[in-house]
Amino acid sequence: MRVMLIGGSRREQVLFAGVMKELLAPINNPRYVIIGKEWGVRAYCVSFPCPSVFARRQQDAEILSRQLDRCLTHCTMVYARTEEGRHTLLRCQTRSFLNRDEQLPHILTTTSE
């Protein structure tokens, strides 16, 4: 998937960069989490935090989810402030590819001669 902003004002460019940074950041404590689906089943390894710009209102979060559904994969949006949503968020945090770098930093080492 390729994402880019062509043109736009300076403010729009900064906003776009911030949204992409949040979307691809490790999952910490977002209000909504976006979970991809494979074969109709939730694939927690393909999950993203909903950027705060979209998470302010449920309608905005749903718009983002629909756009990601069109271009990326079938996905679902989960509100993480309920008991069930919290359980789902914990699954996403432990299984998402975005969090793998945080979970295994001690395994990756470099050697110098």
- pLDDT tens profile 74-113: 888 999 999 999 999 999 888 888 877 654 444 444 444 4
DSSP string, 28-88: SS-SEEEEEEETTEEEEEEEEEPPHHHHTSHHHHHHHHHHHHHHT--EEEEETTSHHHHHH
> SS3 for 4?
coil
pLDDT in tens, 19-74: 999 988 899 999 999 988 776 677 788 888 999 999 999 999 999 888 888 876 68
Predicted pLDDT of residue 73: 65
Predicted pLDDT of residue 111: 43
- pLDDT score of 13 more than 50: yes
Q: Tell me, rounded to whole angstroms, the distance of Cα 84 from its chain centroid.
A: 18
Q: What are phi and psi of 21, to 5 degrees?
A: -65, -45
pTM of model > 0.85: no
